[in-house]
């Protein structure tokens, strides 16, 4: 800080996970706070245009309250969609549902875009979503980055991986792309997208066949091994080669690594569990650790999601994102996040008439963007709370300026390390920006709710916020604001080595390769198995309307989904959306490096500059996730609105496209 302004971002020395400096996005936060494009005042759309006028808070709140009053009477509170995503976390960013319950209800979504299939697969198998401390991976002797490019998307993890490699560990990268991470790998395996489950089952079969399993661990801690072993007997490396396009000898090498090197850490990425078959895929991968005894010991384990900081939640993820088993009658949880557009349009009794969006940008970021856009445009009224005029904000009738994380204190957790941290207020909100808690307080007052109730529900002043946070911390004597002001504190009860007590909170109390709940809740097999993705080239034959290329939409170090890409600091590294192709696929279509290509399927199209990369698996194209529609690169114009097999996740990596050269004027 200097003269009341943020000058630079640094990591806290007490946080072992991030010690060494922030990533590029962390550094870019200074520009994000002071960007000339930041929304500083309420905005109202000019009727019939895409232009906005600045208005007063009185006009904004009055207009919104008037619409809410009208809809509460007819057709009812559930005609309002409340859409909140994960753009900002923390206890103070969870005020929305307080308001909507006070209002009398709303309609909201279930499921999630990010990671539900993996969360549910982990919960079904291990009973809990937690993993060892980030630095424990330095103790591993075999590290498998499965569908993950940690060198770009988790640079702090890569620091600990490098420590392991310096100590002689082996690194395997499984990814259809050649990435910064794979450049350091001892073995790179490039499966056909969506076929990782077959690969894992073949490795399991080879481990069992060769006797490279931990029989003592299995006998004591694993349920369903005999049935699993019987199931995978047919899953030979040759069988998997025919599915994955991975040579059998590579599969055998991977199995040999798993069977002869201890301890083993598997760190899967989120992208690989965004297929229609990915819950079963993740269960198959978890089985490899279970049958080799690589759970509960230093240097071993499953590094997917670490929810040990979810101490403030009555119901933890992934269950928290599922529809309630008994509807409460007030909040209608009826819209699948994965099928947002179609299900918004389909709502009846009452139909949707209004949407309130905060902490998210659903139009370009949810599957099947064209239908999501249609659904939002079908509404009578839209309110968006955001820092910038995103694609979703541009469709709003009223846009309200949102704070950044530096403009209100909050207590936050994480999903990689297990620290609880105080996010201390550093600056006053610029312009007329207000915290969400104050926005809801103003709106509740305008709607005429009792002042005593409103004041209690929505803390606004610094003193009120501190008191609210202290109350939330009361059940945890280790955590006070005074202590948190000095630095991050490990969550109470957190395990530095996950499952080191070998307590697995599954129905059987053991690691469940065979899960009755998988059958009862999701209608899948009790055991991990493999099925082809819905949009598989193996499911149909070439002909009219055939789309032969698998579309990959990875994240990069430059963005968090659709955030940060509008900043100059980021633009200097990534200023144009591209489609990356293998040279053989491009040559087959008469496309050269730098040409304009039309990427399309029955859902939409994009026109992008083509970049050739011989490290990309042939039969795939790669488009970076996060570009806005207004930037010409919104990948979800091409994605399908489907759910994953478990967890109500979005299977928006399960897509095929075609690419053709764009020749001259059309």
Confidence of residue 280 (pLDDT cuts 50, 70, 90): very high
Comparing 291 with 85, the larger pLDDT belongs to 291
The two three-digit tokens of residue 12, written as one number: 């806290």
The two three-digit tokens of residue 488, written as one number: 């991050």
**Residue 114 C-alpha from the chain's centroid:** 2
Beta-bridge partner residues of 606: 599
Predicted pLDDT of residue 67:
98
Rg of the chain over Cα atoms, rounded to whole angstroms, equals: 25
DSSP 395-409: G-SEEEEPP-TTSS-
In CATH, what is the architecture of 118-267+278-303+498-522? 3-Layer(aba) Sandwich (3.40)
**27-41, 538-552, 635-649: which is most confident:** 635-649
Q: Is the CB of residue 98 less than 8 Å from the CB of residue 369?
A: no
Confidence of residue 562 (pLDDT cuts 50, 70, 90): low
Neighbour tally for 35: CB within 10 Å: 15
Predicted pLDDT of residue 543:
63
Predicted pLDDT of residue 544:
67
Indicate if the alpha-carbon torsion angle 410, 414, 420, 423 is positive or negative: negative
The two three-digit tokens of residue 632, written as one number: 């010409």
Q: Is the CB of residue 138 less than 8 Å from the CB of residue 154?
A: no
Cis peptide before 350 (omega within 30 of 0): yes
Predicted pLDDT of residue 564:
65
Q: Which helix (H) or strand (E) holds 551?
A: strand 549-552
Task: Compute, in degrees rounded to 10, the torsion defined by CA atoms 484, 488, 489, 490.
Answer: 150
Residue range 588-626, pLDDT digits in tens: 999 999 999 999 999 999 999 999 999 999 999 999 888
Q: Report how far residue 205's alpha carbon sits from residue 201's, in angstroms, rounded to the nearest whole number.
A: 6
Average pLDDT over residues 376-382: 98
pLDDT, mean over the chain: 94
Angle between helices 196-210 and 237-244 (to 10 degrees): 170
User: In 3D, which of 269, 264, 293 has the Cα closest to residue 139?
Assistant: 264
Say if residue 666's pLDDT is above 60. Answer: no
pTM summary value: 0.95
Task: Compute, in degrees rounded to 10, the torsion defined by CA atoms 256, 261, 266, 272.
Answer: -20
The two three-digit tokens of residue 206, written as one number: 């080879």
The two three-digit tokens of residue 155, written as one number: 């640079």
Average pLDDT over residues 409-420: 94
Beta-bridge partner residues of 52: 45
Predicted pLDDT of residue 119:
97
Question: Where does the chain hold its CATH 3.40.50.740 domain(s)?
Answer: 38-104+311-412+419-490
Predicted pLDDT of residue 565:
67
Average pLDDT over residues 91-120: 94
Average pLDDT over residues 77-97: 89
Beta-bridge partner residues of 552: 622
Q: Report how far residue 370's alpha carbon sits from residue 430's, in angstroms, rounded to the nearest whole number.
A: 35
Q: Is the CB of residue 231 less than 8 Å from the CB of residue 529?
A: yes
Residue 267 has phi, psi (to 5 degrees) of -120, 95
Question: Where does the chain hold its CATH 2.40.40.20 domain(s)?
Answer: 549-661
Comparing 190 with 557, the larger pLDDT belongs to 190
Lowest-pLDDT range, 14-18, 174-178, 234-238? 14-18
Domain 549-661: give its CATH code: 2.40.40.20
Neighbour tally for 639: CB within 10 Å: 28
Q: Does the structural domain 38-104+311-412+419-490 have CATH classification 2.40.50.140? A: no
Confidence of residue 313 (pLDDT cuts 50, 70, 90): confident
Say if residue 315's pLDDT is above 90. Answer: no
Residue 473 has phi, psi (to 5 degrees) of -85, -10
Predicted pLDDT of residue 33:
86
């Amino acid at each position: 800080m200097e003269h009341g302004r943020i000058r630079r971002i640094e990591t806290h020395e007490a946080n072992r996970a991030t010690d060494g400096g922030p990533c590029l996005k962390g550094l870019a936060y200074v520009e994000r706070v002071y960007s000339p494009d930041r929304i500083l005042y309420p905005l109202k759309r000019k009727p019939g245009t895409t232009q906005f006028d600045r208005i007063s808070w009185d006009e904004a709140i009055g207009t919104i309250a008037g619409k809410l009053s009208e809809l509460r009477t007819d057709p009812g509170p559930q005609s309002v969609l409340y859409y909140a995503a994960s753009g900002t976390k923390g206890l103070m960013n969870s005020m929305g549902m307080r308001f909507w319950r006070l209002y009398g209800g709303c309609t909201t979504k279930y499921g999630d875009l990010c990671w539900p299939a993996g969360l549910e697969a982990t919960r079904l198998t291990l009973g809990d979503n937690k993993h060892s401390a980030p630095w424990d991976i330095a103790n591993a002797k075999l590290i498998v980055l499965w569908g993950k490019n940690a060198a770009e998307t988790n640079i702090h993890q890569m620091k600990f991986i490098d420590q392991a490699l310096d100590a002689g560990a082996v690194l395997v990268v499984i990814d259809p792309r050649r990435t910064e991470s794979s450049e350091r790998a001892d073995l790179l395996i490039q499966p056909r997208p969506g076929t990782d489950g077959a690969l894992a089952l073949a490795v399991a079969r080879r481990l069992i066949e060769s006797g490279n399993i931990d029989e003592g661990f299995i006998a004591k801690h694993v349920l369903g091994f005999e049935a699993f072993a019987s199931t995978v007997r047919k899953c030979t490396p040759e069988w998997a080669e025919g599915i994955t396009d991975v040579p059998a000898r590579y599969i055998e090498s991977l199995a040999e690594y798993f069977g002869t090197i201890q301890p083993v850490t598997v760190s899967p990425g989120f992208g690989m569990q965004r297929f229609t078959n990915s819950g079963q895929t993740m269960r198959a991968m978890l089985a490899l650790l279970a049958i080799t005894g690589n759970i509960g010991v230093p240097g071993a384990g499953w590094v997917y999601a670490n929810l040990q900081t979810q101490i403030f939640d009555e119901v933890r993820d992934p269950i928290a994102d599922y529809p309630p088993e008994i509807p409460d009658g007030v909040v209608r949880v009826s819209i699948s996040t994965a099928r947002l557009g179609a299900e918004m349009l389909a709502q009846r009794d009452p139909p949707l008439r209004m949407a309130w969006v905060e902490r998210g940008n659903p139009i370009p970021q949810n599957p099947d963007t064209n239908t999501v856009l249609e659904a939002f445009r079908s509404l009578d009224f839209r309110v968006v709370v955001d820092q910038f005029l995103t694609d979703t904000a541009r469709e709003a009738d009223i846009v309200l300026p949102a704070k950044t994380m530096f403009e209100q204190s909050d207590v936050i957790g994480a999903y990689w390390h297990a620290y609880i941290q105080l996010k201390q207020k550093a600056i006053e909100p610029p312009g007329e920006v207000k915290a969400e808690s104050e926005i809801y307080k103003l709106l509740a007052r305008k709607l005429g709710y009792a002042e005593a109730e409103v004041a209690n529900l929505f803390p606004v002043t610094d003193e009120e916020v501190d008191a609210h946070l202290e109350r939330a911390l009361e059940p945890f004597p280790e955590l006070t604001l005074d202590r948190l002001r000095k630095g991050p504190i490990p969550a109470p009860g957190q395990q530095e080595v996950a499952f080191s007590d070998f307590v697995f909170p599954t129905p059987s109390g053991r690691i469940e390769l065979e899960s009755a709940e998988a059958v009862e809740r999701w209608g899948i097999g009790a055991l991990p198995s493999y099925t082809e993705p819905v949009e598989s080239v193996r499911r149909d034959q070439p002909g009219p309307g055939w789309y032969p290329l698998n579309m990959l939409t990875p994240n990069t170090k430059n963005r968090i989904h659709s955030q940060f890409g509008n900043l100059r600091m980021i633009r200097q590294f990534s200023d144009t959306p591209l489609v990356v192709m293998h040279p053989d696929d491009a040559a087959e279509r008469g496309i050269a490096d730098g040409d304009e290509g039309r990427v399309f399927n029955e859902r939409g199209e994009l026109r992008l500059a083509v970049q050739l990369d011989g490290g990309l698996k042939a039969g795939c194209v790669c488009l970076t996730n996060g570009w806005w529609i207004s930037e010409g690169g919104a990948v979800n114009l091409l994605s399908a609105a489907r759910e994953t097999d478990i967890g109500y996740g979005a299977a928006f990596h399960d897509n095929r496209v075609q690419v053709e050269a764009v020749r001259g004027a059309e």
